[in-house]
Amino acid sequence: MEISSYRDLIVWQKGIELAVNVYSLTKNFPDDEKFALSNQVKRCVTSIPANIAEGYGRQSSKSYSQFMKISRGSLFELETHLLLAEKLGFIQNNELYAHVKEQITEEGKMLNAFIKKLDDK
């Protein structure tokens, strides 16, 4: 398959799917967390595909790699926030949370492979 847009990148597509699932997961967070942890979770999950897209538009592999590394950092931030949410008892849908954790692992592997490919150029 030819890549003609960032939307063709599987890593971006998986990032969008992850964001949709995380938004669903945070729907049942306590009301007093809507502008605290819930907001932080949403900000970092949306920045994953957003930085992949922004990096795609850059002119150099070095710059693109940097945006992919920012995405990876946001992924780690997301994982940390969700772990905290779980420990605080905010996670209501354990099945969805298990799926999100799998998605995080998969996205991390994809980002690492993509970064390595860009850095090897």
Report which of 64, 76, 119 is spatially closest to residue 101, judged by C-alpha positions: 76
Helical residues (DSSP H) of the chain, grouped into ranges: 10-26, 37-56, 61-87, 94-119
CB 52 within 8 A of CB 7: no
From first to last of the 121 residues of the chain, give the pLDDT tens digit: 678 899 999 999 999 999 999 999 999 999 888 789 999 999 999 999 999 999 999 878 899 999 999 999 999 999 999 999 999 999 999 999 999 999 999 999 999 999 999 998 7
Cα atoms in the 13 Å half-sphere on the side-chain side of 94: 2
pTM: 0.94
Please name each of the domains of the chain with its CATH number. 6-119 (1.20.1440.60)
